[in-house]
C-alpha cells in the first residue's frame, strides 16, 4: 500500500456531493441521443454538504474488503494513456497484476477502460459525455458502477462458455483508477466507506446503450455515510474501488464514489485527467 505523504496533512474538507433525489419511477439514462420524445435521463439530483476525510493517515487500515476501496503505490511504464493500443499492450497487464496482488484473485481480466479529461473551462461536474468525441468529463454524482444483477451479467456477456462455471465461485469487479497528470487537485475522487451504506440507499438505474441495457446504482443521501479522499494523488498511485463482490459474508461489496469540487483547491489548478480500468477478478 502507498505511504505517499500529502502536503495537506490530516485535513477534512466540506464539500457538496450530488445524490439521487427521491422519484417514483425507475431511474434511467441514455448513453446516446434517445429516441424522439424520450428525455436523455429521468433523474434529478440534490446536493448535500458532507465532510470528506483525508484517508492517507489511515494507511493500511483502509482495505478493499473492509471499506470497499484502497490505495496502492503503482508506477506504470505506459507513456501515453490516450493511446488505446499502448494502454491495452502495457497498462492492461500492469493493472491485472496489481489487482491480483491486492485481492489474491487467481485470474484478472480487464474488460473496460475510460479516460476522463475535464475541459479547461471546468464545467459543473455532471458526468456528461463530450459531444466533440473527446475524453469524457468526470462524473459528479454519487454512484456505483455495477449492481447485484449487472455484475453477474457482465460475466455472462464476456466469458462465453466459461461463464456458468465461473459464476459458481467468488468473483469481484474492481475499478483501477489513477490520475494521468499529478498531483491531482481538480475534481478529486470521493469514496464512501461501504460499511456506512444501507442496501435500500442503492437504487438500480438503467444505463441504456444502443445494443444493450446495463444497470448501475444511483445513491440516495444518508447522514451516516462516511466519505474519504486521497489528496494530491500522484501518477504513481492508483485507487482500487470495489464495484461488485459476489461474496455475501460481510465484506464490502459496493463502494459509492463521485468526483467533487474541493473548495480548498485554487481555480487555476490543471483540469483533471484520469483513467479507469474495470476488471473482473476470479477466485479459486
Query: What domain range is 257 assigned to?
Result: 51-282
Q: What is the pLDDT of residue 8?
A: 46
Least confident of 4-8, 10-14, 170-174: 4-8
pLDDT grade, residue 3 (50/70/90)? very low
Buried b (16+ CB within 10 A) or exposed e, 235-250: bebbbbbbbbbbeeee
Question: Helix or strand or coil: residue 25?
Answer: coil
In a domain, 156, yes or no: yes
Give dist(CA 178, CA 37) in Å, integer: 38
Q: What is the pLDDT of residue 92?
A: 98
Q: What is the pLDDT of residue 1?
A: 41
Mean pLDDT along residues 146-151: 97
Mean pLDDT along residues 141-169: 97
Among candidate residues 98, 110, 59, 67, the one with its CA nearest the CA of residue 238: 98
Residue 36 has pLDDT above 90, yes or no: no
In a domain, 257, yes or no: yes
Mean pLDDT along residues 119-128: 70
Mean pLDDT along residues 23-50: 92
In a domain, 27, yes or no: no
Give dist(CA 196, CA 216) in Å, integer: 19
In a domain, 12, yes or no: no
In a domain, 26, yes or no: no
Give dist(CA 194, CA 63) in Å, integer: 11
Q: What is the pLDDT of residue 7?
A: 43
Least confident of 109-113, 120-124, 175-179, 213-217: 120-124
CA end-to-end span of the chain: 24
Among candidate residues 278, 265, 222, the one with its CA nearest the CA of residue 125: 265
For 228, list phi and psi in degrees, rounded to 5. Answer: -140, 160
In a domain, 183, yes or no: yes
In a domain, 90, yes or no: yes
Cα radius of gyration (the chain)? 18
Q: Is 15 exposed, middle or buried (0-12, 13-18, 19+ CB in 10 A)?
A: buried
Residue 9 has pLDDT above 50, yes or no: yes
Q: What's 136's DSSP letter?
A: B
Residue 131 has pLDDT above 70, yes or no: no
Residue 126 has pLDDT above 80, yes or no: no
- In this predicted model, what pLDDT tens digit does every residue of 162-171 receive, in sequence order? 999 999 999 9
Among candidate residues 243, 275, 39, the one with its CA nearest the CA of residue 178: 275
Mean pLDDT along residues 4-32: 82
Q: 276 with 135: CB under 8 angstroms?
A: no
Question: Helix or strand or coil: residue 161?
Answer: helix
In a domain, 55, yes or no: yes
Assign residue 220 the CATH number of its domain.
2.60.120
Q: What is the pLDDT of residue 132?
A: 55
Give dist(CA 109, CA 93) in Å, integer: 9
Q: What is the pLDDT of residue 4?
A: 43
Give dist(CA 259, CA 141) in Å, integer: 7
Question: Helix or strand or coil: residue 179?
Answer: strand
- In this predicted model, what pLDDT tens digit does every residue of 172-206 receive, in sequence order? 999 999 999 999 999 999 999 999 999 999 999 99
Mean pLDDT along residues 63-69: 98
| CA 268 vs CA 106, 182, 264: distances in Å | 44, 14, 12
Helix, strand, coil fractions of the chain, as percent rounded to 5: 15, 35, 50
Residue 37 has pLDDT above 90, yes or no: no
| Chain CA centroid to CA 199, Å | 18
Percent of the chain with pLDDT over 90: 84
Number of domains in the chain: 1
Residue 115 has pLDDT above 90, yes or no: yes
Element (H, E) at 96: helix 92-103
Amino acid at each position: 500500500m502507498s505511504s505517499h505523504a500529502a502536503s495537506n496533512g490530516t485535513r477534512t474538507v466540506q464539500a457538496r456531493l450530488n445524490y439521487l433525489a427521491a422519484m417514483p419511477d425507475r431511474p434511467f439514462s441514455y448513453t446516446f441521443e434517445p429516441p424522439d420524445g424520450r428525455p436523455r435521463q429521468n433523474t434529478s439530483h440534490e446536493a448535500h454538504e458532507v465532510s470528506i476525510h483525508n484517508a492517507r493517515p489511515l494507511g493500511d487500515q483502509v482495505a478493499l474488503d473492509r471499506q470497499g476501496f484502497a490505495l496502492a503505490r503503482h508506477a506504470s511504464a505506459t507513456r501515453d494513456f490516450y493511446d488505446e493500443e499502448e494502454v491495452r499492450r502495457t497498462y492492461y497487464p500492469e493493472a491485472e497484476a496489481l489487482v491480483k496482488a491486492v485481492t489474491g484473485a487467481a485470474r484478472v481480466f480487464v474488460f473496460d477502460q475510460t479516460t476522463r479529461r475535464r475541459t479547461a473551462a471546468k464545467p459543473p461536474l455532471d458526468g456528461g459525455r463530450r459531444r466533440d468525441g473527446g475524453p469524457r468529463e468526470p462524473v459528479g454524482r454519487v454512484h456505483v458502477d455495477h449492481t447485484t444483477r449487472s455484475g453477474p451479467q457482465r460475466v455472462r456477456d464476456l466469458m462465453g462458455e466459461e461463464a456458468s462455471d465461473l459464476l459458481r465461485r467468488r468473483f469481484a469487479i474492481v475499478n483501477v483508477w489513477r490520475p494521468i497528470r499529478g498531483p491531482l487537485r481538480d475534481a478529486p475522487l470521493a469514496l464512501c466507506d461501504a460499511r456506512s451504506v444501507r442496501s435500500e440507499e442503492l437504487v438500480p438505474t438503467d444505463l441504456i446503450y444502443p445494443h444493450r441495457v446495463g444497470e448501475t446504482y444511483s445513491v440516495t443521501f444518508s447522514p451516516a455515510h462516511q466519505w474519504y479522499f486521497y489528496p494530491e494523488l500522484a501518477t504513481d498511485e492508483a485507487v482500487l474501488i470495489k464495484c461488485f463482490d459476489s461474496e455475501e459474508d460481510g465484506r464490502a461489496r459496493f463502494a459509492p464514489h463521485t468526483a467533487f469540487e474541493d473548495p480548498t483547491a485554487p481555480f487555476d489548478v490543471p483540469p483533471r485527467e484520469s483513467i479507469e480500468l474495470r476488471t473482473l477478478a476470479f477466485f479459486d
